[in-house]
Amino acid sequence: MRLGRVAKMTCERWPKDFVFGVATAGYQIEGGYNGLGEPRNNWARWEDEKRVARAGDANRFWQEFESQLDLVVDMGLSSFRLSIEWTRVEPREGQLDESAIEQYRCILRAIRARKLQPLVTLHHFTHPEWLGEDPWLDDVSWRKLAQWYQLAGERFGDLCDTWITSNEINIFAINTYLHGIFPPGRRGDLRATMTCIDHLLAAHVVGYQSIKELFPRSVVATNNYSFSIYELDRLILDTLHARKHGVTADERVSWLEQRRSAHYALVPIGRRPFRSLERVLRLLASRHIDLASALPSTRAAIAQSNCSQFLDVSQLDYYAPGAAEHITVPGKRTSGGRWWKIGRPLWDDRPEPDTFLSYVKEAGQDGLPVWIVENGMCVRSDTRTVWPRTDQWTRERYLRENIGALVRARELGVDVQGYWHWTLIDNFEWGSYEPRFGLFGMNADGTVMATDISGNDAAGVYRDICSSLARGDRSELRGVKHHA
């Protein structure tokens, strides 16, 4: 693949209403959680015990949203993805903070005043501390989450018509109960992982119906982290899709088996030397997760619902889908030295635009518009040093080649309608400030840099890509082949 810019090519069919945006999450950017007198979420104990860094002021978005939204406008983007944090709105059970509700409404009005489309997430890996640190294994807490979805629709639905109920249900459950890197830090518990997925998905089903009853024209969905193990990715979405496809209860298992086969036929098995391990992981998942009995609460919620479907768009997040490649040998060389943990660091996630295209094509088979609501690349940095990636990828190249994959997807007939880059500014990344994903870097004093953390004009490249595609010009993209 040539690294220089390709010659100018026309792209006349690029839709004028294609949505380009950035994605963020409240706990990661707002600041003001888990300190003295501040709303406390499920990460509070880990922050108190110094098991993770304190989020602290984060990006100070809660106070400085106006100037940060202006950065989005300056790039010529059309959407801003944010989360409305349940913890702020209901810091104590049954007691709503009306001032927080008004501040969120002020933020939504500011987004709309800039002619940006707000895409709102209602559960982005956090919940109020009062719900408990580990609430997703009982049959009560997920119903409270569904009630939160309805409350959010009631209080904010006049200012927002595009929603994500729960962000990356699959990776949240995996990080909580398999990897143990989210509170409460349980490891290797596949049963708990599937129970968590089931309960969050059931909450989505109930929340979907609630929001659609309030605002029938709204767009509601949930986004998976693209993952190579069917049972931990597509099974979740296929369970929601079954009714739309007219699948009966008797046909469900055989249909899911067909969908699993199609998933593995479309997405690659991975590169050497990970292929054998990937095959083992897929085999173990199929043996330990029974399609017939999986996701009972979700299936019950679907049976009780009168909705004809449970997703309005096919949303996906794409970073590094290969399950086997997330396992690494302790002591492996990485940016900044040796890495002594078993799980691979985020700054070693390997960009794969061709594999990205495969997952987008798969999403396009659902019969719904496709939105990529997260996609981004990590660089490692602390307060003193920025370490280049060992593969020498830059964020500019990442943007060109991944958006180029979307151009190819549209040429192949996939109805891709939106792309949200993760993220706007370097932020608190679930326990640490070392992983940096921002189009704009953040200095040690919390001020925003004019470039990304590596000193590159990533925001300028994103702006140029968006404007060139709008003109029908693909010269800003790399590796994009023209199909007549």
Q: What is the pLDDT of residue 306?
A: 96
The neighbour count for residue 109, using CB atoms within 10 Å, is 12
| Calpha distance 82→109 (Å, rounded) | 13
Q: What is the pLDDT of residue 106?
A: 98
Q: What is the pLDDT of residue 428?
A: 97
Give the H or E element holding residue 409.
Answer: helix 395-411
Question: Which of 468, 484, 387 shows the shortest CA–CA distance to 6?
Answer: 468
| Cβ atoms 354, 402 nearer than 8 A | no
| Calpha distance 102→17 (Å, rounded) | 30
Question: Which of 410, 396, 311, 312 shows the shortest CA–CA distance to 357?
Answer: 410
Collapsed DSSP state (helix, strand, coil) of residue 219: strand
The neighbour count for residue 248, using CB atoms within 10 Å, is 9
Concatenating the DSSP letter of every residue in 403-462 gives HHHHHHHHHTT--EEEEEEE-SB----SS-S-EE--SB-B-TTSPBPSS-TTS--HHHHH
Q: What is the pLDDT of residue 406?
A: 97
* Distance from chain centroid for Cα 344: 19
Q: What is the pLDDT of residue 478?
A: 64
State the architecture of 19-447 in CATH terms. Alpha-Beta Barrel (3.20)
| Calpha distance 33→28 (Å, rounded) | 10
| Cβ atoms 440, 449 nearer than 8 A | yes
| Cβ atoms 426, 437 nearer than 8 A | yes
Cβ-in-10-Å burial (0-12, 13-18, 19+) of 97 comes to middle
Tokens of 83: 């989360």
| Calpha distance 315→370 (Å, rounded) | 6
Q: What is the pLDDT of residue 267?
A: 85
| Calpha distance 295→87 (Å, rounded) | 27
Residue linked to tokens 């979307």: 406
| Calpha distance 273→278 (Å, rounded) | 10
Give the H or E element holding residue 477.
Answer: none
| Calpha distance 56→290 (Å, rounded) | 43
Concatenating the DSSP letter of every residue in 85-134 gives -HHHH-SBTTB--HHHHHHHHHHHHHHHHTTPEEEEEEESS--BGGG-SS
Question: Which of 463, 438, 456 shows the shortest CA–CA distance to 394?
Answer: 456
The neighbour count for residue 272, using CB atoms within 10 Å, is 6
| Calpha distance 286→211 (Å, rounded) | 34
Give the H or E element holding residue 54.
Answer: none
The two counts, helices (H) then strands (E), for the chain are 15, 13
pLDDT tens series, the chain, 484 aa: 222 233 343 445 789 999 999 999 999 999 999 999 999 999 999 999 999 999 999 999 999 999 999 999 999 999 999 999 999 999 999 999 999 999 999 999 999 999 999 999 999 999 999 999 999 999 999 999 999 999 999 999 999 999 999 999 999 999 999 999 999 999 999 999 999 999 999 999 999 999 999 999 999 999 999 999 999 999 999 999 999 999 999 999 999 999 999 999 988 887 778 899 999 999 999 999 999 999 999 999 999 999 999 999 999 999 999 999 999 889 999 999 999 998 999 999 999 999 999 999 999 999 999 999 999 999 999 989 999 999 999 999 999 999 999 999 999 999 999 999 999 999 999 999 999 999 999 998 889 999 999 999 999 999 999 999 999 888 888 655 443 2
Residue linked to tokens 């945006």: 21
Q: Which residues contact 54 (CB under 8 A, 6 or more apart)?
A: 34, 35, 47
Q: Which residues pair with 127 in a beta bridge?
A: none
Radius of gyration, alpha carbons of the chain: 21
| Cβ atoms 204, 169 nearer than 8 A | yes
| Calpha distance 16→469 (Å, rounded) | 9
